[in-house]
Amino acid sequence: MKILGYAASAATVLSLLFAIWVYKNPAGPESRSKQDALPTVTGDNNVTIVGNNNVVQSKSPMTKSGAVAEDKYKEKLSEMMPGLSRRKVEELFGVPSFDARFEEANAHSATFVTPDYFLKVIFSKDEDVVFYSVTTRSEYFKPKIPYSEMRLLQSKFSEIGEAEHLYSYLSSKHYEYAEKIYLGNPGNYRTLYLGYCSSGVYPDVDGLFSPVVVDDYVADAWQHFRQSVGPNCYGVGDSSEEGEELLLQSGVGPDYFVTRELGWRG
């Protein structure tokens, strides 16, 4: 009887081991296809749960609509540079939604609207790009800043590098700030502009901060601001005095009062 009992126990163990082997080694292509076809569920945190095995796969940054934001627009943005013709820019981004002229400078500013960012371009009288900027409209769109490994909405101003204040102002409706970094020979003698632009989605802030309007008496407040806040807008210009004067008139990012009509917050 004991021998029969041991035999029964051994058979049970063998059956269990065989069942495990079958589970891990499906019989054929049909079984594998069923496993491959397991349903996937993607949540708001850009994480996918695959089938019954609960395998978690991280996904690319996504927009609210579910499109892969950075991959969709990265190639187009990588072609932008000062000196590009208007024809080429419109080839890439279509017809601008807004166009404003600088009568005295004989130049004009055009704003192209995409689901995830505003592209602002200042064209010379010869229809060449003298400046362009990208302002993110989506908390999921965090493009890399040119000539840097940093990203919009992720990096603080102080982490990107030493900069020179360009402008800052506070009105009853909104606050704007911009600074510039001259790139010299490594950057083909261009200037990188970084901004906290009210037309874009606001970046995360470390703790509380007070908007600063920079002058000689608030150097400490300016440094605290740069350490606490990051840009939601970057721009690249040709470093000419004429181009910078146009930026002081129109801002690094698109006009706040124009873009808010688009309902970007909603």
Per-residue pLDDT at 170: 85
How many CA atoms, within 13 angstroms, populate the side-chain half-sphere of residue 66? 4
| CA–CA separation, 155 and 172 (whole Å) | 27
Confidence of residue 209 (pLDDT cuts 50, 70, 90): low
- Specify the pLDDT at position 80: 94
Kindly report, residue by residue over 37-66, the tens digit of the pLDDT. 333 333 333 333 233 333 233 333 444 443
Instruction: Give the pLDDT score at 24.
Output: 46
- Provide the pLDDT for residue 217: 52
Residue 72: the pLDDT is 60
Residue 61's pLDDT is 41
Give pTM, 2 decimals.
0.70
State the Cα–Cα distance between residues 240 and 63, nearest whole angstrom: 36
Q: Is the pLDDT of residue 145 over 90?
A: yes
Contacts of 183 (CB under 8 A, 6+ apart): 147, 189, 190, 191, 192
For tokens 């939601």, the residue is 232
pLDDT at residue 155, rounded to an integer = 93
- Distance of alpha carbon 157 from alpha carbon 225, whole angstroms: 8
